[in-house]
Amino acid sequence: MANEDIILSVNNLETVYITGKNHSVKAVDNVSFAIRKGEFFGLAGESGCGKSTLVLSLLNLVPPPGKIRKGEIVYYGWGDPVNILTLKRERLRRYRWEQVSMVFQAAQSALNPVAKIKDHFLDTAMAHGLRRRREIYRRALKLLNMVRLDKSVLDAYPHQLSGGMKQRVIIALSLLLNPKILILDEPTSALDLVTQKYILDMVREIGENLGLTVIFVTHDLSLLAGMMDRIGIMYAGKMVEIAPVEDIFYNPHHPYTSGLMKAIPSLVGDISTVKSIPGDVPNLVNPPPGCRFAPRCPYATDVCRTVEPKLERVDGDKYVACHRWRELELSIKA
Ligand SMILES: Nc1ncnc2c1ncn2[C@@H]1O[C@H](COP(=O)(O)OP(=O)(O)OP(=O)(O)O)[C@@H](O)[C@H]1O
Ligand code: SF4
Ligand SMILES: [Mg+2]
C-alpha cells in the first residue's frame, strides 16, 4: 500500500486488561494493519475477539484496567505522520472527535434521557469550543437530514424516538465536528436486520458524499457484503485475515473466515447447510500456543499447535495468518 494513500497505520499493537497481579487478558495481540483514505473497512469476528478493544485503542481510549502495552498508531490526516500514543492532552483531544470520531458499542444508552436532541448537539459542539448556537443548530439539522431525519427530531427527547432513529441521531452527532475518520462499533446490533441494512446503506452514502474513511465493526459478516471495501477478520486478539470484501466472501484463505461464512444463513439457501463453528473463542488470559484457532480448526496439524502463524501476504491486497493457506485454498471455500 502506497504511503500517501494511508490515513491510519497500526503497528504491532498490544492492548491488555490487567485483571490481577500476574494476570492479564491480551485482547489485542501484536496486531498490524493500515487503513486507506476514504476506505470503508469492516472489522469482524465473534464476540470477545478484541474488536472493541482494537477500535478503542485507535482513539487511545481503552478504559482501565485496559492498557496499550506496545506498538504504534500512526495518523496521517494532519500531513506529517503522528503516533497518537505520544500525543499530549490537548492534541489528543483534538484528534478525538475532530479527526477521528466514534460511535461506541451500546451508544444508544449514552443519550441523556432528560435532554432534547438539540441539546445533545449543543453540548457536544460547546465542549469543543464552538459557541454560535444558530450555526450549531443549522449544522445539526443538516446532519439530521443526512441521516434522513427531519427538524422535529431536534425538539424530541430520546425516549420519543425509535431505536433506529436514536442510532441515526448518534451517527449525526458523531459527524458534528467534521471528522476524517468515523468508527462505528456494532452500531446496529440491537436493531432488526432491515433497519441494520438501512443504516449501513445510509452510512455508505454519507461516507462517500463527505469523503469519510469508515471503520465498521460487527460480529455479523453478512451485513458487510457489498458495503465495505476491505474486511479484517479478528480471532482471539489476532488479525487473521485482511482482504477485499469479495475475497472474504467468495475466496477466503483462513479456515476461521470460511467458518464464519458457512455460519451465515442464506436468504434463499437450505437452512440445513448453515454450520456454526464448533467450540468457543479461547480464554485470552491463557490462549492456546501456536495458532489460536487450532482447537476449533478441522485442518489443524502438529505445527499449528506449536508455532504461531504470522500474517503474510497472499497476493495483491490479501493477507492471512495460517500455516496451511496454500494447500487449503481450494478446500476451504465457502
Ligand atoms: N474491562 C475489561 N476487563 C477485563 N477483560 C476485558 C475487559 N473488557 C474486555 N475484556 C476482554 O477482552 C477481550 C476482548 O473484548 P472486546 O470487548 O474487545 O471484544 P469484542 O470483539 O468487541 O466482543 P463483542 O463482539 O462482544 O463486542 C475479551 O476476552 C473480553 O473478555
Ligand atoms: S494455522 Fe492450522 S489451525 Fe490455524 S487456521 Fe491454519 S490450518 Fe487451522
Ligand atoms: Mg465489542
Nearest CA residue ID for atom 7, ligand 1: 17
Which residues, judged by CB distance below 6 Å to any ligand atom, belong to the binding site of ligand 2? 254-255, 291, 293-294, 297, 299-300, 304, 309, 322-324
Mutate-to-test residue for ligand 1 from 47, 186, 233, highest number of ligand atoms within 8 A of CB: 47
What are the residues whose beta carbons fall under 8 Å from the beta carbon of 11, sequence distance 6 or more? 32, 71, 72, 73, 74
For residues 256 and 260, give the distance between their C-alpha atoms in angstroms, rounded to a whole number. Answer: 6
pLDDT at 59: 97
Find the angle CA(35)-CA(38)-CA(40) to the nearest 5 degrees: 65
Task: For residue range 187-230, list pLDDT tens digits in order.
Answer: 887 788 888 888 999 999 999 999 999 999 998 899 999 899 99
pLDDT at 332: 53
Nearest CA residue ID for atom 6, ligand 2: 322
For residues 282 and 251, give the distance between their C-alpha atoms in angstroms, rounded to a whole number. Answer: 26
47 lines ligand 1 (CB under 6 A): yes
Residue 52 CA to ligand 1 centre (angstroms)? 7
For residues 133 and 140, give the distance between their C-alpha atoms in angstroms, rounded to a whole number. Answer: 10
Q: Given the CA of residue 292, which atom of ligand 2 is nearest to it?
A: 4
Nearest CA residue ID for atom 5, ligand 1: 17
Average pLDDT over residues 43-57: 97
Q: Given the CA of residue 300, which atom of ligand 2 is nearest to it?
A: 3
pLDDT at 194: 86
Grid cell at residue 21? 497481579
Residue 214 CA to ligand 2 centre (angstroms)? 30
| CA end-to-end distance (rounded Å), the chain | 27
Nearest CA residue ID for atom 1, ligand 2: 322
Grid cell at residue 260? 464464519
Q: Nearest 5°: phi and psi at 268?
A: -110, -15
For residues 212 and 194, give the distance between their C-alpha atoms in angstroms, rounded to a whole number. Answer: 24
For residues 147 and 210, give the distance between their C-alpha atoms in angstroms, rounded to a whole number. Answer: 13
Q: Given the CA of residue 299, which atom of ligand 2 is nearest to it?
A: 7
For residues 98 and 175, give the distance between their C-alpha atoms in angstroms, rounded to a whole number. Answer: 9
pLDDT at 191: 82
Nearest CA residue ID for atom 28, ligand 1: 48
Q: Report the chain's mean pLDDT, rounded to a whole number.
A: 92
Pairing of strands 181-185, 100-103: parallel
Q: State the pLDDT confidence band at 334, using cuts at 50, 70 and 90.
A: very low
pLDDT at 272: 64
Q: Cβ(45)–Cβ(38) under 8 Å?
A: no
Find the angle CA(182)-CA(199)-CA(99) to the nearest 5 degrees: 10
Percent of the residues in the chain that have a pLDDT greater than 70, as a whole number: 95
